[in-house]
Amino acid sequence: MEEQKDILSRINEKFSILSKGQRLIASFVIDHYDQAVFMTAAKLGETVGVSESTVVRFAVTLDYDGFPEFSKALENFYKNRMNSVQKVNAKYGKSSQSEVLNSVLKADIEKIQDTIENIDVDAFELAIDIILNAKKIYIVGIRSCEPLAEFLQFYLNMIRQDVYLIKTTSASEIFEQMIRVDEKDCVIGISFPRYSMRTLKAMEFATDRNAKVITITDSIHSPMNLYSSCNLLARSDMVSIVDSLVAPLSVINALVVALCLKRPKDVKANLENLESAWSNYQVYLNDEINFIDDEPILNYSLKKEED
């Protein structure tokens, strides 16, 4: 048995072989482990709508001897999470503020460097083509990934039309917003450990509707990759109790810049329309919006097109 793997790692690795009922259990455990840790097999099954025997089989599928061992592993995981603050104190408690700053920034630099060395350039180029050619773009990012999804949607709107951010607090709301997704559309899913089951369900739904799926996630072992052949991998680890999303944000920045280079005329036209609106409605002072003509990326791309 692989004791070194925590319970969520096992769930993520086994996710592709879980039955429909077992996936319901996995979803609940990942999103509500703080409740599941106090439940019996019968209570867990009742909560998610499956039989007690399905819960036991789920535990065995994760390579536990049975539900008691599964329950013990979940308890250990819960205790470790609850001790996160103590771990932060142990790591940084005696450090000065400048040492904490140094340590965290250096860790983020390492994650970006690791991403540079391991990202699939072919997948990146495929993602650019998919985004440019899709009829509609849907972006899904939940919990700590929501700011990344909002950032990507904001800038994709500068480049093309029909870009939709899925805003949701439940799986049913995801399907309501994605009900018209089809094979002409693209769905971009962003998720890092702990992987959001709502995001995974959105990716599964998009795949079932034959949409093009792009994932931004952390590794080849991510369950997000089950639903996509275009996977952009960016290193993301926990820094104390905070998810480090610097590398994923850098990948998203690279996507936006590459798309701008592909569509400089559209981007410039959209920015000019925005500048006009900002000026007419006095959103910004004039010296804050007079930037389009000085934008080197757009002018360089337009010059290349003219040449």
Any domain includes 54: yes
Identify whether residues 126 and 248 lie together within a single domain. Answer: yes
Position 2 scores a pLDDT of 41
Say how many domains are in the chain: 3
In this structure, the answer to whether residues 268 and 252 fall within a common structural domain is: no
Domain assignment of residue 96, yes or no:
no
121 and 226 in a single domain? The answer is yes
Q: What is the pLDDT along the chain (307 residues), one digit of tens a residue?
A: 344 567 887 887 888 788 989 988 988 888 788 889 889 999 999 999 999 999 999 999 999 999 999 999 998 888 776 655 555 555 555 556 677 787 778 888 888 988 898 889 999 999 999 999 999 999 999 888 899 999 999 989 888 889 999 987 666 688 888 999 999 999 999 998 778 888 888 899 999 999 999 999 988 878 888 888 899 999 886 555 566 789 999 999 999 999 888 888 877 777 777 777 666 666 555 555 455 555 655 565 555 566 5
Question: Closest Cα partner for 189 from 235, 153, 242?
Answer: 153
pLDDT of residue 196: 82
Cβ proximity of 45 and 54 under 8 Å: yes
| CA–CA gap between residue 199 and residue 249 (Å, rounded) | 18
Domain assignment of residue 169, yes or no: yes
Please check whether residue 97 lies inside any domain of the structure: no
The reply to whether the predicted model has a pTM over 0.75 is: no
Distance CA 186, CA 229 (A): 12
Conformational region of residue 298, where left means phi above 0, alpha means psi within -120 to 50, and beta covers everything else: alpha
CATH of the domain at 52: 1.10.10.10
Among 261, 191, 257, 263, which Cα is nearest to 15's?
191
Per-residue pLDDT at 1: 35
In terms of Cα–Cα distance, which of 204, 168, 208, 163 is closest to 186? 163
Q: Are residues 142 and 248 in the same domain?
A: yes
**What confidence score (pLDDT) does residue 125 get?**
94
Q: Is residue 26 part of a domain?
A: yes
Together in a domain, 272 and 249? no
Residue 141 lies in a domain: yes
Question: CA-to-CA distance for 179 and 69, rounded, in angstroms?
Answer: 40
Q: Residue 88: inside a domain, yes or no?
A: no
- Contact between residue 247 and residue 235 where contact means Cβ atoms under 8 Å apart: yes
Q: Are residues 221 and 282 in the same domain?
A: no
Same domain, 208 and 285: no
Amino acid at 228: S
Same domain, 254 and 268: no
Task: Examine the domain organization and report whether 250 and 275 are in the same domain.
Answer: no
Residues 252, 279 share a domain: no
CATH of the domain at 206: 3.40.50.10490
pLDDT value of position 3: 43
Domain range holding 218? 103-258
Contact predicate 77/52, CB 8 Å: no
**Which tokens hold the place of 43?**
């209570």
Query: Which of these, 142, 139, 137, 138, lies nearest to 197 by C-alpha position?
Result: 142
* Residue 181 falls inside a structural domain: yes
Contacts of 11 (CB under 8 A, 6+ apart): 26, 29, 30, 62
Provide the 10 A C-beta neighbour count for residue 114. Answer: 15
**Amino acid found at 140:** V
Q: Are residues 295 and 202 in the same domain?
A: no
Residues 6+ apart with CB under 8 A from 227: 189, 200, 203, 204, 206, 207, 213, 215
Does 73 lie in the same domain as 109?
A: no
